[in-house]
């Protein structure tokens, strides 16, 4: 397996346009996360899926944002009516939590990200 992949790697769009990003997780992973990262900051959680179910959404995920994971495989993140404040790196991660004697451990593996620039 080659790891988590994201497409496109870079996207430049004009304010008001819609954009869609794709994430292909590691094949056996049942969890998929989306994060957003602005310059100089650590990644911020947006949402995550367990298989095809979207289980949690951050307050950062406004109604202009929507994410899907049909059939529990790849995922898409769509931003409608983009704003300049949406310019950021969008990161996808996948994982497969496992139970250990100490609890549940979950190592997330990140993709290279999609850098969005809204003009």
Partner 1 sequence: DAKTTQPNSMESNEEEPVHLPCNHSTISGTDYIHWYRQLPSQGPEYVIHGLTSNVNNRMASLAIAEDRKSSTLILHRATLRDAAVYYCILNWAGQNFVFGPGTRLSVLP
Q: Contact residues for partner 1 (CB under 8 A)?
A: 4, 31, 33, 35, 40-45, 48, 56, 91, 93, 95, 97, 100, 102-113, 115
Closest contact distance (angstroms) between CB of 119 and partner 1 is 20
Measured from the CB atom, the residue of 14 and 28 that comes closer to partner 1 is: 28
What is the four-CA torsion angle of 50, 53, 59, 62, rounded to 10 degrees? 130
Cβ neighbours around 20 below 10 Å, total: 15
Structure tokens at 46: 């947006």
Measured from the CB atom, the residue of 26 and 80 that comes closer to partner 1 is: 26
Closest contact distance (angstroms) between CB of 99 and partner 1 is 10
Measured from the CB atom, the residue of 83 and 106 that comes closer to partner 1 is: 106
- What DSSP designation does 41 have? S
Closest contact distance (angstroms) between CB of 59 and partner 1 is 13
Which of 44, 80, 84 has the alpha carbon at shortest distance from 62?
80
Measured from the CB atom, the residue of 74 and 110 that comes closer to partner 1 is: 110
For residues 115 and 92, give the distance between their C-alpha atoms in angstroms, rounded to a whole number. Answer: 12
């Amino acid at each position: 397996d080659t790891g988590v992949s994201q497409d496109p790697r870079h996207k430049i769009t004009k304010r008001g346009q819609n954009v869609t990003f794709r994430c292909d997780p590691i094949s056996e992973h049942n969890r998929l996360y989306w994060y957003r990262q602005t310059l100089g900051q650590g990644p911020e959680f947006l949402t995550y899926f367990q298989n095809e179910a979207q289980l949690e959404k951050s307050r950062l995920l406004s109604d202009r944002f929507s994410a899907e994971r049909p059939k529990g495989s790849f995922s898409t993140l769509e931003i409608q009516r983009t704003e300049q404040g949406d310019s950021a790196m969008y990161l996808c991660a996948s994982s497969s939590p496992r139970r250990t004697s100490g609890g549940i451990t979950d190592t997330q593996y990140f993709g290279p990200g999609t850098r969005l620039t809204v003009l």
